[in-house]
Amino acid sequence: MRIFALLLIITVTFSCAPKATNDIKPTTAEIADSAKIPLIQVAFRNKKEFISFELSQSDTIVASIDENSVFQAASLSKPIFSYIVFLLADRGVFDIDKPLAKYTGIERFENREWASKITARTVLTHKTGLPNWATSPSSDEWPSSIVKFKFRPDSAFSYSGEGYYLLQKAVEEVTGKSLEQLTTEEVFIPFRMDHTSYEWKDEYDTLAADGFTREGENRGKGRHPRANSAYTLRTTARDYSKFLDVLMEGKGLKKETHQQMFSPVTKAVRFSGKPRECDSAIYWAMGVGIEKDTEFGDIIFHWGDNGNFKALFIIIPQKKSHLVYFTNSARGHDIIDQMVDLYFSPKSPFKIGPWVNQPEPN
């Protein structure tokens, strides 16, 4: 079994990874191995080619030949839901500037006056003023927990899963459909994302990857108690790449709506009041982050962090190119800069890596 896994890694690494511009650059397998990441899935597209593969660096994990190991996508859940919101807005079903309190209840919020001002626009740009979570969203206590504001709505960037869940409840109320039903009908089936779901599927009993801590401890697959648009998506790199093709093209959206999704709205100072140098180039649009880069122009991205599962996608519209990778390790973001260098060969490192990884300043 182990010999087979090694042969698979060697074959995929040399046949699927993009050619390095020099002999010094490590391969994807070497990058993952140096970071002690047990399992990684990658999908990459540019104007000339599409490649996807799965690699194991563990003695106890065999990479799937079909690349169908399923990973927690964490916050890569959010862009798919954002796309759904814009589909509904284009059809006149949902108003992104109407207070969400007109659609659904706001009983969980301590300050209901402020909560009544939240709209889909403030949610998608992370300007709700809400915390990420009131408490762990997979806990029994979370559904009834009280949500306190960090800032007045529309006053500052404040990354928030609570905001996305409020928007999810509003969309479910308007459509009369659950998150899973809606995304299955609008995204998963039309774009043939066969292994993707916000809810647990029976096939995940065998296909879902286990997550590992930084110390290499196996913490299992992790079952979420309820579908949540902010973090419970499970998918594969090949599946998610199909969505990125849709997102790049703006398929199903009006031209002006697609442009709006990729237009910077607010500076994304990740730790409010404590700007870092990397924050100067990062903005948030309607559902995605944007790095302003002198070489590549606007770089579209989103990162995912569910603790022992880390993920990232990068779209470069100027190059008609995208990269997405999923890992089953708390070390999964350690490799951002190396992956960017291998797949895009920028003259200067992107700011995305530091923006994700640099800690809060003292």
Q: CA dist 126 to 23, 167, 184, Å?
A: 42, 12, 25
DSSP one-letter string for 148-182: PPSS-TTSS----HHHHHHHHHHHHHHHS--HHHH
211 belongs to a structural domain: no
151 belongs to a structural domain: yes
Q: What is the DSSP letter of 103?
A: T
Q: What is the pLDDT of residue 291?
A: 98
Distance CA 261, CA 225 (A): 30
Band of pLDDT at residue 24, cut at 50, 70 and 90: confident
Digit-coded pLDDT (tens) for 138-158: 999 999 999 999 999 999 999
Per-residue pLDDT, averaged over 307-325, amounts to 98
309 belongs to a structural domain: no
Rg (alpha carbons) of the chain, rounded to whole number: 20
Structure token pair of residue 2: 């182990």
Band of pLDDT at residue 23, cut at 50, 70 and 90: low
Distance CA 55, CA 59 (A): 12
Domain that holds residue 142: 77-179
Distance CA 99, CA 85 (A): 14
Per-residue pLDDT, averaged over 332-355, amounts to 98
Band of pLDDT at residue 109, cut at 50, 70 and 90: very high
Per-residue pLDDT, averaged over 52-65, amounts to 95
123 belongs to a structural domain: yes
Distance CA 291, CA 288 (A): 10
Q: Percent of the chain having pLDDT more than 90?
A: 92
Digit-coded pLDDT (tens) for 143-198: 999 999 999 999 999 999 999 999 999 999 999 999 999 999 999 999 999 999 99
324 belongs to a structural domain: no
360 belongs to a structural domain: no
Distance CA 357, CA 362 (A): 15
Structural domain count, the chain: 1
141 belongs to a structural domain: yes
Per-residue pLDDT, averaged over 223-246, amounts to 98
Per-residue pLDDT, averaged over 78-101, amounts to 98
Residue whose structure tokens are 């079994």? 1
Please determine, for residue 5, whether its predicted confidence score (pLDDT) is greater than 90: no
Q: What is the DSSP letter of 261?
A: H
Question: Which of these, 229, 289, 302, lies nearest to 261 by C-alpha position?
Answer: 289
Q: Is the dihedral of CA 194, 196, 201, 206 positive or negative?
A: positive
157 belongs to a structural domain: yes
Q: What is the pLDDT of residue 2?
A: 34
